[in-house]
Amino acid sequence: MDDEGRLLLVRKAGTTAFMQPGGKPEPGESADETLSRELAEELGVEIDPDQLRGLGRFTAAAANEPGFVVVADVFAADLGSQHPVVGAEIAELRWVTRADADRLEIAPLAREHFLPA
């Protein structure tokens, strides 16, 4: 989240729902290492895994895979003066408020846990 209380969400190419940046771990990668790598690949943001603050493990319906559930280790990251840019498989990024979420398709994980009504 930024200083204005907006949550950074991305929409991957070929999908319609906005979700938190991140992805699946590569073999031997911890959850914080995975997010650090994914932030660099997807948004050009460099965050050391040690600088991520764990928020917990959350479960929700998968946005792009009907009938499946996503289990996600979620972290907060301070971007400092870095500005995220679209990269890798990302089609679009947005800083979203709860009010914005009413007009956008938001993945259940973000909508239910991080943009509550």
pLDDT digits (tens, 9 = 90+) for 6-19: 999 999 999 999 99
Task: Give the per-residue pLDDT at 92.
Answer: 97
> Averaged over 56-74, what is the pLDDT?
94
The separation between the first and the last C-alpha atoms of the chain, rounded to the nearest angstrom, is 16
Whole-number Å distance between alpha carbons of 62 and 17: 10
pLDDT tens profile 28-56: 999 999 999 999 999 999 999 999 999 99
Q: Above 90 in pLDDT, residue 114?
A: yes
Give me the domain span that covers residue 97.
7-113
Any idea what the CATH number is for the domain that residue 106 is in?
A: 3.90.79.10
2 found inside a domain: no
Mean pLDDT over 71-93 rounds to: 94
Q: How confident is the model at residue 101 (pLDDT cuts 50, 70, 90)?
A: confident
In a domain, 102, yes or no: yes
| H or E stretch at 75 | strand 69-76
Share of the chain above pLDDT 90, in %: 85
> Which amino acid is residue 27, in one-letter code?
P
Q: Which residue has the tokens 């993945």?
A: 107
The number of folded domains in the chain is 1
pLDDT at position 57 over 70: yes
